[in-house]
Amino acid sequence: MIQSDFLRIGVVPYANGLPLEHFLPNYLPQARIIRAVPSALGKMLAAGELDVAMLSTIELARHPEYGFIPGLGIGSDGPVASVMLFCSQECRNVSTVALDQSSLTSVAMARILFAEYWKRNPRYMPFTPPLDNGLRDADAALMIGDPALEFNGSVLRKLDMGECWRDYCGLPFVYAAWITGPGLDPESLQEPFHRALAEGLKALDALSRIRAGQSSKPPEFFFDYYTRCVRYQLGDRELEGLRFFLDRAREHGIV
């Protein structure tokens, strides 16, 4: 059994992860923190280079041997502001979509929405932000994380994917969770990870100021994001939404 004091923990380099991970060193002082985008963290966990990571939830379908720490994650029940589809024309006319590969869950979400919500079967291609890289070759581009959250440019239309998902199925969406590799009991980690989040939620003013110091946006922008858009505590409805998403991803052969 891996000792929790010496965990290798993967965290995302985005604003949305800050309340979850900022205070972890207070409760796991000997843990090693590794920062990377979710898709890279997924490869590291699969290679045995991490013990637990804030990963795209699609990994739970791809790796049935994984577990996740109950009650914690990154979700939304409606608009999320950091998973956005930018379109150069009306969505009903989109035939090509560029996908930011940083989050495999958001990519899967977009493919499900195009197939079932917008009744489209576009051609997909990968791209790396900024947005111009995607819209140069495609009718629409999916961007996630801080590039989507802080985008200031103009496009014909931008769609909040969290809002589109709730309109489609009436359920919240869970983008990421603390996912554990084989040999680690996720329930044994509940106390330090839950305590870290509880401290983070009490310190949203301070965390908003920290994040604003790395951005052109003011602290109020991030405080609004943390309190209005993102859900960090996963209850029954969030888990229902997660199960629905994973079922649809399997049905479409995405996993």
Query: pLDDT by residue for the chain (255 residues), tens digit each?
Result: 344 568 999 999 899 999 999 999 999 999 999 999 888 999 999 999 999 999 999 999 999 999 999 999 999 999 999 999 999 888 888 999 999 988 889 999 999 999 999 999 999 999 998 899 999 999 999 999 999 998 887 777 999 999 999 999 999 999 999 999 998 999 999 999 999 999 999 999 999 999 999 999 999 999 999 999 999 999 999 999 999 999 999 999 988
Q: What is residue 4's predicted lDDT score, i.e. its pLDDT?
A: 55
Q: What is residue 55's predicted lDDT score, i.e. its pLDDT?
A: 94
pTM confidence score: 0.93
Closest alpha carbon to 60 in 211, 196, 174: 174
Find tokens 């496009």 and name the residue.
Answer: 155
Q: What is residue 74's predicted lDDT score, i.e. its pLDDT?
A: 97
Tokens of 23: 């205070």
Q: What is residue 78's predicted lDDT score, i.e. its pLDDT?
A: 97
d(CA 101, CA 94): 19
Q: What is residue 90's predicted lDDT score, i.e. its pLDDT?
A: 83
Domain 83-169, what architecture? 3-Layer(aba) Sandwich (3.40)
d(CA 239, CA 174): 8
Q: What are phi and psi for residue 80, nearest 5 degrees?
A: -115, -25
Q: What is residue 5's predicted lDDT score, i.e. its pLDDT?
A: 60
* CATH code 3.40.190.10 region(s) in the chain: 4-75+174-251, 83-169
Q: Return the CATH number of the domain spanning residue range 4-75+174-251.
A: 3.40.190.10
d(CA 82, CA 94): 21
Neighbour count for residue 12 (Cβ, 10 Å):
27
